[in-house]
């Protein structure tokens, strides 16, 4: 019996709508943001307010002077980029501040029509002698819960363990399991990649695995495609954060396609952290054309001076995205999110309704 002919796995599959979207269409289109760090998304005005309230000394006392210390869209290196978090996180070691920052981050996302938002942070980064881990988690969940009541959006919390701190990973894995049914939707491993092999953390994540908490891993940004493979093989990752080096390892992209794993792409921050030399060199368009499940995300809204709207505009202006590719990225964001199937279907139906209004037949 002759073998049936199928399209080749690496064949180009352009989404059907090839029209170039204008800025107004991009502004109005519904959006998702699955890779959004709490500490990188605090408003400058909130940093100043909270520093004054808590008696924290900052390197500047007004917004214009503070901006160069926090907004790193022209960072000279990854080290320079990460220095911003020493300031942003310094005012977030207070339950009231954590709830406020979480709420405002949701509000900022809602204002640009984000329908599905997943916020992530490492609770152990915010611990003090008086602020315990459960306070830190519950304060952020309180801010998220208030935002969901006020705004028409789905918001989930992802807890991050830090690769350079195994005690942090153990504690955070237990927290993720404990709050699995209270608003925590996933677990992440963040921090330096080089010198920290992903597979070594398998045993530490036992509470996450045994509680069926979905896993996303920062990988393929600073170390290469092998870190992506290890995240998938050893840590059962359902999504990969960044994945800029995906195509360096033969067969890996095919596996990502077959299994439907989500790729969390962050164009601006990849440029700012020097993961890519230019936006035009980013492999995201190749990912899209290969049919991989790709979402476009902010990573750090304040530190990278970006929004989802700006990320989509970058994809259009610098990478030639068309309406069909933007819509695919938005819907892939919903499909890749760590929410229940019925919730995803509800959001996808509403997105289709919005798109029909944007592009009436």
- Known catalytic residues are 221
For residue 345, what are the CA distances in angstroms to 10, 212, 334, 336, 339? 29, 21, 9, 12, 10
For residue 61, what are the CA distances in angstroms to 47, 52, 67? 10, 9, 10
User: Rounded to the nearest 5 degrees, what angle is found at the Cα of 196, between the Cα atoms of 194 and 199?
Assistant: 125
**CA 10, 273, 199, 158 torsion-angle sign:** negative
d(CA 21, CA 284): 18
HEC secondary structure over 91-119: HCCCHHHHHHHHHHHHHHHHHCCEEEEEE
d(CA 336, CA 205): 21
Instruction: Give me the residues paired with residue 117 across strands.
Output: 33, 155
Residues 6+ apart with CB under 8 A from 162: 122, 124, 125, 168, 169, 189, 190, 191
Cβ atoms of 161 and 172 within 8 Å: the answer is yes
Tokens of 315: 């994809």
Tokens of 269: 């921050």
Q: Where are the alpha helices (DSSP H) in 11-92?
A: 23-28, 44-54, 63-70, 78-82, 84-88
């Amino acid at each position: 019996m002759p073998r049936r002919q199928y399209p080749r796995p690496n064949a180009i599959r352009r989404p059907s709508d090839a029209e170039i979207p204008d800025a107004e269409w991009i502004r109005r289109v519904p959006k998702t943001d699955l890779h959004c760090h709490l500490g990188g998304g605090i408003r400058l005005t909130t940093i100043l307010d909270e520093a004054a309230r808590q008696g924290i000394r900052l390197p500047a006392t007004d917004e214009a002077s503070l901006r160069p210390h926090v907004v790193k869209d022209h960072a000279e290196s990854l080290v320079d980029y990460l220095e911003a978090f020493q300031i942003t996180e310094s005012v977030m070691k207070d339950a009231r501040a954590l709830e406020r920052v979480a709420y405002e981050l949701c509000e900022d996302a809602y204002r640009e029509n984000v329908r599905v938002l997943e916020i992530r942070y490492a609770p152990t980064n915010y611990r003090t002698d008086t602020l315990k881990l459960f306070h830190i988690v519950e304060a952020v969940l309180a801010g998220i819960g208030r935002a969901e009541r006020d705004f028409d959006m789905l918001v989930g919390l992802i807890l991050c363990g830090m690769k350079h701190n195994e005690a942090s990973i153990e504690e955070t894995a237990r927290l993720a399991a404990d709050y699995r049914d209270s608003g925590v939707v996933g677990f992440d491993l963040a921090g330096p990649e080089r010198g920290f092999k992903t597979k070594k953390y398998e045993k530490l994540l036992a509470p996450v695995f045994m509680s069926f908490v979905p896993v996303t891993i920062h990988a393929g940004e600073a170390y290469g495609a092998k870190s992506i493979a290890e995240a998938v093989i050893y840590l059962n990752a359902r999504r990969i954060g960044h994945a800029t080096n995906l195509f360096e390892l033969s067969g890996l992209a095919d596996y990502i396609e077959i299994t439907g794993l989500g790729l969390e792409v962050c164009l601006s921050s990849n440029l700012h952290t020097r993961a890519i030399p230019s936006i035009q060199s980013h492999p995201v368009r190749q990912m899209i054309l290969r049919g991989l499940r790709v979402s476009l995300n902010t990573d750090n809204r304040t530190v990278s001076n970006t929004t989802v709207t700006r990320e989509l505009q970058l994809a259009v202006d610098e990478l030639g995205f068309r309406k069909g590719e933007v819509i695919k990225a938005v819907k892939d964001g919903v499909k890749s999110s760590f929410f229940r199937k019925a919730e995803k279907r509800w959001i996808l139906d509403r997105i289709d309704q919005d798109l029909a209004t944007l592009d009436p037949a």
